[in-house]
Amino acid sequence: MTDNAFVLLQAAADTTRAYGEFPVIGARQFVWITAELHLMFAAFVLGVPMFAVVTEAIGIFGGDDRYDRLSKEFTRLLLVAYSATAIWGALLVFGLSTLYPRFWAYLTAIFAPSMWVYAGLFFVESFTLYLYYYGWDRWKKGRAKLGHWTLGILLNVWGTTVMFIANSWLTYMMSPPRDITPTTDPTSIKLWHAIANATWMPINVHRVIANVVFGGAIVGAYASYRFLAATSDEERAHYDWMGYVGNFIAMSALIVLPFAGYWLGREIYQYDQSMGITMMGGFMSWLWVIQAFLIAVLFLTGNYYLWIGMGRIPGAERFRPYTKYLLMVLVLGAIVWGTPHTMIADSKELAAMGGSHHPFLGALGVMSAKNTAVNLMILTTFLSFLLYRRANTRPVVPWAKSGTIIQGAMFALAAGVVLFYGIRGYFVEAIVRIGFSVYQVLAVLSCIVFVTLIDILMARGAQSLGTIQWGKMPPRSQYALFILAVTFTWLMGLMGFARSGIRQYWHVWQVMQDTSKYAATPALGYASKMISLCVLIFLTLVAFVFWLGGLAEKSTFVPLTPGASPGTRGASHVGH
């Protein structure tokens, strides 16, 4: 790029003025809100297509048409959500280029080519979505249907690639390669060198999984609202089932999410010890207590929904006595996980504490106890799913009894491995202890995989104890789905604050300092107000999107006239 061309490119932004100001709310707040809402909508438009393409595949290969309708119903909502994503993204770019022009000039000097690719892919992604949705009824059968499903896969490929590109910009801000210093000319930095930074891939993986969780949770909230508003048993049954599928996907992906989080945390520590310590033991240490509380709400609410759901399954009553034990493990696990460990404190506070940790609770605050707690909570949640799955069937294969014993033994073995390494962790050095979490995770994942495998084989030809009575759910179960969606969204905002906040007063960690009046990173109380505001705006807009979806549906609804044949009514609905 020539000097003159560069000057012209920068002309849109005041490049010598390092910072601008936004009226009333301030520059940082403007960028915070636009970035957060852009990210939430982006997660929605990435998570829901993953959900849609999986459910469409179940419809195609499982022959159950309900899944196909479910998939289409959600793709319809994506059309409006894409516009919202683009609008918030444009606001964010305008905000950055006018309020943080010097920083924006720095980023564009490095990443400009990837920004053009990003814009191009967003364009391609949008048109793939239009083809995917508007071609739904045209490419309905045979090979055409498989072609249509391929469009859904492509939609996910474009979306994920777009996310990976955007992730490279923000992870560069967190972990620029070590050879880059404050005096490095940004135009001399190789693009791939900046993209492939230390935290890029861990963030990519973490966000892909989190988007699946988020997509499932939003689907669950949508279904729960439609359930509560339903006027017929048939409609209620449909949305009850949809809510279950959404919750199932969200909870299944949530189980894997902590493992991706560990990887990201480890990469941060390896990149820069002081950044890791700031995150876990510095001014952000209390954040993890709040996170533990939110995770506890998610696990408890998710399990609560399943346990209530067992009320609509004939035969489930035989498992009901076990739920109190499951609840006990979850509550104890949540308490241990929420026990503070290394709180930032001044000398007076340290003296008042006795110089170290709490004499009793300090032992529960270390990672050995926390890893043990979370792994046992995951195992417990999996057991809830298993009981739910088995509720209305009785296996008839000759090896059913021994199969169940083997499954029980696998649970016991996994719990044993988790407990063993949890206790052993207290007697070894930190560097050895960190490695123990891998064994704990492997034990839990192996248990989940093998127990599920045995269960699928055991369910062959199983005797049915009655069909699931979809729709026979008390309203409180649906409110639980709302709490899940709100909590997932709030947690996303909180983790976003953690990721961004650990840079503290740096735009780019130890390369470009934030010298604006907003350079200090706010305390959690202030951040929580901003997060709540963002979540509220997001949910309000999502409710609007859902309402628009409902409007479109109603506009194609032909009411039954006295003279019309009842047989025509089914055909008058679109989307069901």
Partner 1 sequence: MWATNLKVVAIVLGTLALYTLIANKIPQVQSEVPQTLTLGANVTPEQLVAAGEKVFNGIGGCTTCHGLGTRAPNLLTDEKGAGTIGARCGKREAGKDCKQYLYESLDDPKAYVVAGYQPIMPTMTKQLSPPQIWAVIAYLESQGGTVDVTASDIPAASAAPAGGGGGGGLAGGSTDPKAIIQAAGCLACHKLDGQGQVIAPDLTHVGSRRDAESIRKKILDPMSSIAKGYEKLAGIMPKTFGSMMTASQLEALAQFLAAHK
Q: Considering only residues 521-560, where is the footprint of partner 1 by CB under 8 A?
A: 521-529, 531-532, 535-536, 539
Task: Output 414 or 534, the one with its CB closest to partner 1.
Answer: 534
| Residue 72 binding partner 1, by CB under 8 A | no
- Identify residues 495-514 at the interface with partner 1 (CB under 8 A): 501, 504-505, 514
Give the closest residue to 103 by CA, choosing from 498, 493, 505, 494: 505
Cβ burial, residue 489 (10 Å; 0-12/13-18/19+): buried
Q: Smallest distance, Å, CB 49 to partner 1?
A: 25
Q: Are strands 463-464 and 512-513 parallel, antiparallel or unpaired?
A: unpaired
- Identify residues 144-203 at the interface with partner 1 (CB under 8 A): 182-187
Cβ burial, residue 23 (10 Å; 0-12/13-18/19+): exposed
Residue 361: both structure tokens together: 């609770």
- Return the SS3 of 175: coil
334, 377 contact by CB (below 8 A): yes
| Residue 308 binding partner 1, by CB under 8 A | no
Task: Output 259 or 497, the one with its CB closest to partner 1.
Answer: 497
Q: Smallest distance, Å, CB 551 to partner 1?
A: 15
- Identify residues 452-481 at the interface with partner 1 (CB under 8 A): 475, 479
Residue 319, C-beta contacts closer than 8 angstroms, at least 6 positions apart: 310, 387, 390, 391
| Residue 119 binding partner 1, by CB under 8 A | no
- Return the SS3 of 255: helix
Bridge partners (DSSP) of residue 508 are 512
Q: Smallest distance, Å, CB 171 to partner 1?
A: 20
| Residue 36 binding partner 1, by CB under 8 A | no
Stretch that binds partner 1, among 38-46, 104-112, 200-208, 420-428 (CB under 8 A): 104-112
| Residue 482 binding partner 1, by CB under 8 A | yes
Task: Output 444 or 531, the one with its CB closest to partner 1.
Answer: 531
- Identify residues 229-268 at the interface with partner 1 (CB under 8 A): 229
Task: Output 293 or 450, the one with its CB closest to partner 1.
Answer: 293
- Among left, alpha and beta (phi > 0; psi -120 to 50; other), residue 23 is beta
Task: Output 14 or 455, the one with its CB closest to partner 1.
Answer: 14
Q: Smallest distance, Å, CB 295 to partner 1?
A: 12
Amino acid code (one letter) for 150: T
| Residue 109 binding partner 1, by CB under 8 A | yes
Residue 126, C-beta contacts closer than 8 angstroms, at least 6 positions apart: 82
C-alpha pair distances (Å), 490 with each of 82, 88, 283: 21, 18, 20
Task: Output 464 or 515, the one with its CB closest to partner 1.
Answer: 515
Q: Smallest distance, Å, CB 480 to partner 1?
A: 9
Stretch that binds partner 1, among 39-47, 91-99, 282-290, 325-333 (CB under 8 A): 282-290
- To the nearest 10 degrees (0 to 180), the angle between helices 524-555 and 27-62 is 50
553, 574 contact by CB (below 8 A): yes
- Identify residues 366-395 at the interface with partner 1 (CB under 8 A): none
Considering only 430, 461, 561, 563, the residue that binds partner 1 (CB under 8 A) is 430
Q: Smallest distance, Å, CB 136 to partner 1?
A: 30
Considering only 172, 241, 490, 509, the residue that binds partner 1 (CB under 8 A) is 490
Cβ burial, residue 567 (10 Å; 0-12/13-18/19+): exposed
Considering only 102, 266, 358, 389, the residue that binds partner 1 (CB under 8 A) is 102
| Residue 290 binding partner 1, by CB under 8 A | yes
Task: Output 179 or 346, the one with its CB closest to partner 1.
Answer: 346
Amino acid code (one letter) for 231: T
- Between CA 518 and CA 540 the distance in angstroms is 28
Task: Output 6 or 411, the one with its CB closest to partner 1.
Answer: 6
Q: What is the dihedral of CA 252, 258, 259, 263, to 10 degrees?
A: 140
- Return the SS3 of 321: helix
Task: Output 4 or 555, the one with its CB closest to partner 1.
Answer: 4
- Between CA 386 and CA 221 the distance in angstroms is 23
Considering only 91, 289, 327, 419, the residue that binds partner 1 (CB under 8 A) is 289
- Identify residues 310-369 at the interface with partner 1 (CB under 8 A): 342-347, 350-351, 355-357
| Residue 6 binding partner 1, by CB under 8 A | yes
Stretch that binds partner 1, among 12-20, 162-170, 328-336, 460-468 (CB under 8 A): 12-20
Q: Smallest distance, Å, CB 47 to partner 1?
A: 19
Q: Smallest distance, Å, CB 286 to partner 1?
A: 5
Task: Output 204 or 247, the one with its CB closest to partner 1.
Answer: 247
What is the number of other CB atoms lying within 10 angstroms of the CB of residue 40?
26
Length of the chain, in residues? 576
- Between CA 56 and CA 74 the distance in angstroms is 11
Q: Smallest distance, Å, CB 420 to partner 1?
A: 23
Q: Is the dihedral of CA 283, 285, 289, 290 positive or negative?
A: positive
Q: Smallest distance, Å, CB 516 to partner 1?
A: 10
**Residue whose pair of structure tokens reads 């679109």 in the numeric block:** 574
> How many residues make contact with partner 1 (CB under 8 A)?
79
Task: Output 229 or 396, the one with its CB closest to partner 1.
Answer: 229
Give the closest residue to 379 by CA, choosing from 355, 414, 341: 414
